[in-house]
Amino acid sequence: MLLNHHRLVLLNGYLVLPVDHYENFPIASIILPKHLRAPIETIYNFARSADDIADSRELPATFKQERLGFFREELQRIQSDHSPLTPLFSELALLIAQHNLPITLFFQLLDAFEQDLTIKRYENFAQLRLYCNRSANPVGRILLHLFGHAQDDNLQWSDSICTSLQIINFLQDITDDYEMGRIYLPQDEMDSFGVTEHHIKNKVFDLSWLNFMDFQINRARQYLDDGSALYDKLPGRMGIEIKTIVKSGLQVTKKLSASRGNVFAKTHKINSLDFACILFQTIFRN
């Protein structure tokens, strides 16, 4: 249901939107009703633009802060019923008004992008979970508001799914994130398993790393299980879309488990064959 620079291409080959940048985002696949695809694309464009700024290796840090600061100003203009200065935010303002979307969710996403500029390590899972609350969970909540099913139980299940997918993305992209100076892993848990940054820097796959990754994978899977009731509560195509996303996330955890968490040697992304099987099973077993 989501995506963020920490990347899980859930519906590879079956997307309306290109998700090679911002992949913690609700996917506007042809499974969804047609009237929902354009709104998702507009929201995606907002997220992708901010993500490209935060993750750029060429832009100076001060420029990134200024540009994301401008994004915040544009959101504030929308919030105060003033006209935005750019076409992107003009489209977003219209969308927010038409679908009565909580603008606080967009501010939370922006908070996560800005956080990436300053916070590179996380002391414990509680801190990492707070990051997920900004970077991932708002996306699922936006989707539920678009669906018209933003009841409390649905929102909680969505948060579990989104948090899980974010964690899975962290695990897939450990080496890529490290190259950008970031580690999205709880430092206290690394310590308890005898894992250090040396493992990541030098791609050390040993028993300590294996046990550490097993713990992380199991937690991500548990979060997915905790949120799985959501797809049974949503009608028709919307339920199928969410179920496909959940099953895709589970497939990635299977790949990670099969490799014993060896993210240094192979990719664990969903391929076309994986997705075809997931889609077939999801639709026909529904």
Closest of 179, 161, 175 to residue 209, by C-alpha: 175
The C-alpha atoms of residue 108 and residue 131 are separated, in whole angstroms, by 10
Question: Is there a contact between 82 and 103 (Cβ–Cβ < 8 Å)?
Answer: no
Token pair listed for 154: 């649905």
Answer yes or no: is pLDDT of 272 > 90: no
What's the CATH code, domain 34-285? 1.10.600.10
Answer yes or no: is pLDDT of 15 > 90: no
The C-alpha atoms of residue 56 and residue 205 are separated, in whole angstroms, by 29
- What SS3 state is found at 21? coil
pLDDT band at 67 (very low <50, low <70, confident <90, very high): very high
Q: Can you give the pLDDT at residue 36? A: 85
From the CA atom positions of the chain, what is the Rg in Å? Answer: 18
Average pLDDT, the chain: 87
Could you tell me where the DSSP H helices lie in 193-235?
A: 197-201, 207-227, 229-233
> Percent of the chain, pLDDT > 90?
72
Q: Can you give the pLDDT at residue 8? A: 32
Kindly report the length of the chain. 286
The C-alpha atoms of residue 133 and residue 112 are separated, in whole angstroms, by 9
Answer yes or no: is pLDDT of 17 > 70: no
- Average of per-residue pLDDT across 123-142: 96
Lowest mean pLDDT among 74-88, 183-197, 212-226, 246-260: 246-260
Closest of 148, 175, 129 to residue 233, by C-alpha: 148
pLDDT band at 24 (very low <50, low <70, confident <90, very high): very low
Q: Can you give the pLDDT at residue 238? A: 86
Residues 196-210 pLDDT 10s: 999 999 999 999 999
- Sequence ranges of the domains in the chain: 34-285
Residue whose pair of structure tokens reads 């989104």 in the numeric block: 162
Question: Is there a contact between 253 and 220 (Cβ–Cβ < 8 Å)?
Answer: yes
Residues 75-97 pLDDT 10s: 999 999 999 999 999 999 999 99
- What SS3 state is found at 280? helix
Q: Can you give the pLDDT at residue 5? A: 41
> Percent of the chain, pLDDT > 70?
88
- What SS3 state is found at 124? coil
Q: Can you give the pLDDT at residue 212? A: 98
Closest of 114, 109, 90, 122 to residue 24, by C-alpha: 109
- The amino acid at residue 238 is M
Answer yes or no: is pLDDT of 30 > 90: no
Q: Can you give the pLDDT at residue 136? A: 94
pLDDT band at 37 (very low <50, low <70, confident <90, very high): confident
Answer yes or no: is pLDDT of 25 > 50: no
- Average of per-residue pLDDT across 34-55: 90
Residue 19 or 97, more confident: 97
Answer yes or no: is pLDDT of 28 > 80: no
The C-alpha atoms of residue 250 and residue 207 are separated, in whole angstroms, by 24
